[in-house]
Amino acid sequence: MMSRQAFLCSLGSLYLSLLLIFLLMDVYARPANNSALKEKPADSKDENEILPPDHLNGVKMEMDGHLNKEFHQEVFLGKEMEEFEEDSEPRKNRKKLMVIFSKVDINNDKKIGAKEMQRWIMEKTDEHFQEAVEENKMHFRAVDPDGDGHVSWDEYKIKFLASKGFDEKEIAEKIRNNEELKIDEETQEVLDNLKDRWYQADNPPPDLLLNEEEFLSFLHPEHSRGMLKFMVKEIIRDLDQDGDKKLTLSEFISLPVGTVENQQAQDIDDDWVKDRRKEFEEVIDANHDGIVTMEELEEYMDPMNEYNALNEAKQMIAVADENQNHHLELEEILKYSEYFTGSKLMDYARNVHEEF
């Protein structure tokens, strides 16, 4: 019979093994060069308010060059995306999806065509835009406490460093007196990147003062053509290995330096490369010459590009179009619900007939 001490040791070993398995399951392949902004986790609510997010809703690629894994759900669900949770009741999610289907199907012919899906994608993307505008109003007030309608770089710098744990009064005094700030190398790198972005968001005539609209461009470059160009330059800078300001397939799919230590991580890496390769060859490289230029990447990144929205609509239809009629019926969307909503609906065929 196993002693109590032996049992506890065995239980502890089992716990450590399960913990190790859980950690290994959370492995994600990342590009070799990453934006410094994403490396540092948010330390406080204030930092979340004033630090430009890496993730932009309705944009196909993150600021650091990662593909947006939730893009399809974002442009299909809009603000309703949060309502489709993994632990939600399937029957409720099914009803929500049926309501969305009826809204997309504007001609009421019980099927969704590419033009209908394109219109819907543009509408949901604009919805994300408006949400960003409303959030920006709140964020701008957080960095403009005196309410003069403008924020200087120094004011923003003080707020940012305070969110990192620095003493706000002390930092403000040192900046006023032009004294040296003792900042760690990582934080300084983030500040340098932010200052570049600040300069780009500062519309002519440049004064290093951002109003609310310019601050929106700073936080959400997808709202500004000039800032969109800047974001593209940053992405190419991070991924471009030979310095020609273009991207080859090998540069776009390059994995982090280092070896993969287990098969599960290798499988994740393989899926990552497969997704990147497909997006590069079929979508981003518009003229299929094996090279992605800044112009091609900019067109790809522009969330309000109608041609891209139509192309995306056709791709989304192709995923679930089982009868190959170039349209989506309700049954097809319900069956492929995980692709459109991130939520898998069980027994879709039986349940849809129950609804009718």
Per-residue pLDDT reduced to its tens digit, 155-191? 999 999 998 889 999 999 999 999 999 899 999 999 9
Rounded to an integer, what distance in angstroms lies between the CA atom of residue 247 and that of residue 295?
11
The full 3-state SS of 49-62, as one line of letters, equals: HHCCCCCCCCCCEC
Burial class (CB in 10 A: 0-12, 13-18, 19+), 139: buried
Residue 243 has pLDDT above 90, yes or no: yes
Residue 95 corresponds to which amino acid?
Answer: K
pLDDT at 264: 55
Res. 268 pLDDT band, cuts 50 70 90: low
Element (H, E) at 354: helix 348-355
Confidence of residue 352 (pLDDT cuts 50, 70, 90): very low
Q: Read off φ and ψ for residue 112, nearest 5 degrees.
A: -110, 125
User: What is the structure's pLDDT at 109?
Assistant: 97
Q: Is residue 327 within 8 Å of 113, Cβ to Cβ?
A: yes
Which pTM value belongs to this model?
Answer: 0.74
